[in-house]
C-alpha cells in the first residue's frame, strides 16, 4: 500500500472486522461496514468510494482489488494498532467525533435543545452534547468514553 496517506483516508472494513470498524469510528475514522461488505461486494464498494480495504481474507489478492491492508491478527487490539500504525493515524485527535453506529459525523447541539431528551441527571451534570442527524441520537461525554480513552492509551503505540 502507499506510504503517503492523507488525513482524509477512508476505510471499507470486511464484514468479519466489525469490532475493528467500531473502534476506528470511535477514533473518528470514516469506515463503511456491513453484512454486504465481503468478497466482491467489499472490493466494489471500496473502489466506488475510494476507500482502503481492511480485510483478513488472503484470497483478496486474486480479486484484482483496489488498495487494501491485510489485517494480521484476529484480536481487535492488535488489529487497531496495525491500522493506526500503518496509516499513521492519531488515535486521540478526532476521538468521539463520529457515530459508532452509522459512521455519521456528530454535530454539536446546544444544551438547551436537549432538555427533556436526555435523562435529568445527565442534563444537570453535562455541558457538552453532540447529535447524530441520521440516528437522531444525542451523545455526551460519559464514563464509557473515559474507559475507551484508557483502552486507546493502553495500546502503547511505538
Ligand atoms: Zn448515527
**pLDDT for position 98:** 94
Q: Taking Cα atoms as reference points, which of 75, 91, 93, 70 lies closest to residue 24?
A: 91
Q: Taking Cα atoms as reference points, which of 45, 65, 49 lies closest to residue 57?
A: 65
Distance 105 CA to ligand 1 centre (A): 8
Q: What is the model's pTM?
A: 0.88
**pLDDT for position 140:** 92
Distance 139 CA to ligand 1 centre (A): 10
Distance 158 CA to ligand 1 centre (A): 32
**pLDDT for position 7:** 60
3-class secondary structure for 71-137?
A: CCCCCHHHHHHHHHHHCCCCCCCCCCCECCCCCCECEEECHHHHCCCCCHHHHHHCCCEEEECCCCE
The span from the CA of 115 to the CA of 123, in Å, is 7
Distance 22 CA to ligand 1 centre (A): 12
**Distances in whole angstroms, Cα of residue 69 to Cα of each of 2, 57, 87:** 10, 10, 10
Spell out the per-residue pLDDT of the chain, length 158, in tens: 444 445 689 999 999 999 999 999 999 999 999 888 888 899 999 999 999 999 999 999 888 889 999 999 999 999 999 999 999 999 888 999 999 999 999 999 999 999 999 999 999 999 999 999 999 999 998 888 888 888 888 887 65
CB atoms within 10 A of CB 124: 8
Distance 134 CA to ligand 1 centre (A): 5
Distance 146 CA to ligand 1 centre (A): 20
Amino acid at each position: 500500500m502507499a506510504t503517503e496517506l492523507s488525513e482524509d483516508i477512508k476505510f471499507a472494513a470486511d464484514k468479519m472486522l466489525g469490532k475493528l470498524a467500531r473502534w476506528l469510528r470511535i477514533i473518528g475514522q470514516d469506515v463503511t461496514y456491513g453484512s454486504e461488505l465481503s468478497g466482491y461486494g467489499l472490493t466494489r464498494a471500496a473502489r466506488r468510494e475510494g476507500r482502503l480495504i481492511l480485510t483478513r481474507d488472503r484470497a483478496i489478492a486474486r480479486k484484482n482489488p483496489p488498495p487494501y491492508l491485510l489485517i494480521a491478527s484476529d484480536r481487535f487490539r492488535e488489529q487497531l494498532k496495525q491500522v493506526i500504525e500503518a496509516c499513521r493515524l492519531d488515535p486521540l485527535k478526532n476521538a468521539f467525533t463520529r457515530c459508532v453506529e452509522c459512521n455519521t459525523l456528530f454535530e454539536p447541539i446546544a444544551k438547551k435543545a436537549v432538555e427533556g431528551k436526555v435523562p435529568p441527571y445527565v442534563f444537570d451534570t453535562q455541558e457538552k452534547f453532540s447529535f447524530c442527524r441520521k440516528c437522531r441520537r444525542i451523545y455526551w461525554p460519559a464514563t464509557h468514553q473515559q474507559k475507551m480513552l484508557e483502552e486507546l492509551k493502553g495500546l502503547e503505540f511505538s
